[in-house]
Amino acid sequence: MSFRTSRPSHPLILDDVRGAQKMLSGVARMTPMEGSRHLSALVGAPVHLKCENLQRTGSFKLRGAYVRISGLRPEERAGGVVAASAGNHAQGVALASSLLGVRSTVFMPVGAPLPKVAATREYGADVRLHGHVVDETLAAAEEYARVTGAVFIHPFDHPDIIAGQGTVGLEILEQCPEVRTIVVGIGGGGLAAGIAVAVKALRPDVKVIGVQARAAAAYPPSLEAGRPVVVDTAPTMADGIKVGRPGDVPFAIVEELVDEVRTVSEDELSSALLLCLERAKLVVEPAGASPVAALLSAPESFQGPVVAVLSGGNVDPLVLQRILRHGMSAAGRYLSLRLRLTDRPGALATLLGVLSVVDANVLDVGHVRTDPRLGLTEVEVELHLETKGPEHCREVGAALRDAGYVVIG
């Protein structure tokens, strides 16, 4: 087997990733590879899930953070490190620093999920809440580094970080040597770049496909422009890959080695998360489920065997609840609707009787009498129903119309 060892245009080669793998021995786990019968049936070829959501700290971020901090000179370690993150990178830096005996300070947004803040503190970091968006938090961390001399640990834009993340690619080739396509989420690009460096050196025939949330997709316009460009990002549930500009170092690698970058919608992300939970019994955050979303959106376009990298599993339970409801709605298994009734005894019972006949399970009922938009004898009812799929939703709507009800929302 031949592979490239000469220096490419970007600053990483296979030996860098192999060196990182040795450094991570006994630190990062070789996460399991799980087959998915459901996705395999859709794709028409074997699909495997690389479960980095089961990595220490709940994501791949420990790999890069540990390699980066390990490479610091003694005088740099003595000054400590600082990072800015809303979650996964924060936890990776905190644990890596603790394992290496280095003091860490992590800036997190004021609205960061409490479980992520608590976990970062438990891993040993001095957590400081600053700013309401990541850009403000990042600026505070960089200012702290300038004032104190602490080394700023960037989440993706550094060769050591990318080399550490690339060890995921080496594991994929070991665990699934027959792989033909690797699908991985992209935010700043560190994970996809690292995997591409490792995999393309050993198996240039393997396709590496990146996936971004459509609401925060900086790579497609950047690749078109031939340089990293800034994009305005919209709100997305995939906050782990919500990055407004690719990193300079990973961009050079992605441009050269990643075969394609696709985007997925919010509905596709929530459906993917729901599938991971129900079918694979895996808790995966939306960013981590983005490769599965890509598989669901166009299963026939992937050459198998396919490995989808589930990059993280750190999701706030309250957020998870909202996302699952969104996913169930997208899958036709959750239906919300509003309609108006005549305000008389038995009207609500009659409505519920119609729903009972079509076997729609009522989860919640809202009953409003005081809205100024309502007539004197009207009442508005909001229903949340558990349904069995798109066809069942249509059946429920038809039954209500046949019974004389007008759905208004």
Enumerate the active-site residues.
61, 311
Q: For residues 376 and 391, is the Cβ–Cβ distance under 8 A? A: no
Nearest to 335 by CA among 284, 291, 278, 395: 395
Distance CA(207)–CA(354), nearest Å, equals 52
Q: Is there a cis peptide before residue 204, judged by omega within 30 degrees of 0?
A: no
Greatest extent of the chain over all pairs of C-alpha atoms, in Å: 82
Nearest to 12 by CA among 173, 239, 227, 247: 247
Pick left, alpha or beta for residue 85 (phi over 0 → left; psi -120 to 50 → alpha; otherwise beta). beta
Instruction: Look at the block and give the residue holding tokens 């006994």.
Output: 26
- What number of other Cβ atoms are within 10 A of residue 397's Cβ? 15
Nearest to 77 by CA among 153, 168, 183, 170: 153
Distance CA(46)–CA(8), nearest Å, equals 33
Distance CA(279)–CA(219), nearest Å, equals 31
Q: For residues 139 and 161, is the Cβ–Cβ distance under 8 A? A: no
Q: For residues 183 and 293, is the Cβ–Cβ distance under 8 A? A: no
- Tell me the C-alpha to C-alpha distance, in Å, between residue 14 and each of 8, 26, 198, 254, 286: 11, 21, 5, 15, 30
Distance CA(144)–CA(134), nearest Å, equals 15
Distance CA(148)–CA(166), nearest Å, equals 31
